[in-house]
Structure 1
């Protein structure tokens, strides 16, 4: 994706919630850093401090932690037109507990903490944008937690396919199992059951 296309994608994302003048659009773009990550490489590793909030313009990444046995627990998949990162580490400057790994070679736009603060000073309406973004993220997290308690694995799989049709064919069954909180073997049986219906 060329610079203009990636810039248009993030500006379209922002414009869903706030209106920007042409001058504000140019200022915002000037505060962003272009980042590329190859397939299977890490954008972030646990123990490191997060330097950016990331917006994906091309590719697919997974965000996860490791349990005591070293098995991954995937909290989200991030594809084009998604934001990702570790807000806690970004805001507190404390080391992250998360890994972010590229499932596909990916291109992102990042905003550093310094530029994030500059953005709010120079274009205060971005406080509204990020407030809405964080509210949506919190609601999504709460729903996902509730689904983990109240839905069966099969129902969670069906819900994932319905909500993220553009993602389901880009990830492995093993990663999907780690996201749904089930074993790869049970994931395979679940997919077979759903496909038979």
Structure 2
């Protein structure tokens, strides 16, 4: 697998010289991840940034009753991380696993920190990615407070158009904050109209 997917993602935000590109690609690691295989488990310290090249990962928390609450899906071309664990080097509260067979690139935090020292443009890249993530999460929080379930579902479809047909309804329901039964009933009502 070549580095073109991750380089295309980076080049949307910063320009790199050939030497900087070589330095960046030298710290990238590749891994195949099987369905349901963890990239990060709650309690571990998140020490790497993960970029999905194919397949799909998700981050989620598990409540005291064993219920899963999906925070993010990461299809091809998306980054995924437990940001608080990564920044503070504390145990993760999130799990990150593959919902289908996937391929990922990952970069260890230490290597990325070193790269930012050598290539200041990566400070800008990190800031842009963090700002976009914050805006997305903030928007989602507001949606969860003021939108009804159907409106949240519509937003999900717009955010993840490639996933709507491939994800189990249980995963979608968890993301929009309803039970799978409620989602099924809601969608059946819409189809009948």
State TM-score, norm by structure 1: 0.95
How far apart are residue 70 of structure 1 and its match?
Answer: 1.2
How far apart are residue 43 of structure 1 and its match?
Answer: 1.1
CA contact 1:44–1:99 (8 Å) conserved in 2: yes
Find the counterpart in structure 2 of residue 188 from structure 1. 184
**Correspondence for 2:35 among 33, 39, 42:** 39
2:100 partner SS = coil
**Correspondence for 2:94 among 71, 92, 98:** 98
Find the counterpart in structure 1 of residue 141 from structure 2. 145
How far apart are residue 69 of structure 1 and its match?
Answer: 1.1
- Structure 1 gap segments, 5+ residues each: none
Counterparts of residues 47-62 of structure 1 (less than 5 Å): 47-62=43-58
Find the counterpart in structure 2 of residue 123 from structure 1. 119
Name the CA distance, whole Å, in 1 between partners of 2:190 and 2:77: 29
Number of aligned residues? 193
Runs ≥4 residues deviating over 4 A = none
Counterparts of residues 157-176 of structure 1 (less than 5 Å): 157-176=153-172
How far apart are residue 189 of structure 1 and its match?
Answer: 1.1
Deviation readout 1:92-129 (Å, 9 max, x if unpaired):
11110111111111111111111011111110111001
Find the counterpart in structure 2 of residue 107 from structure 1. 103
2:45 partner SS = coil
Q: Calculate the aligned-residue CA RMSD, in Å.
A: 1.0
CA contact 1:62–1:101 (8 Å) conserved in 2: yes
How far apart are residue 162 of structure 1 and its match?
Answer: 2.1
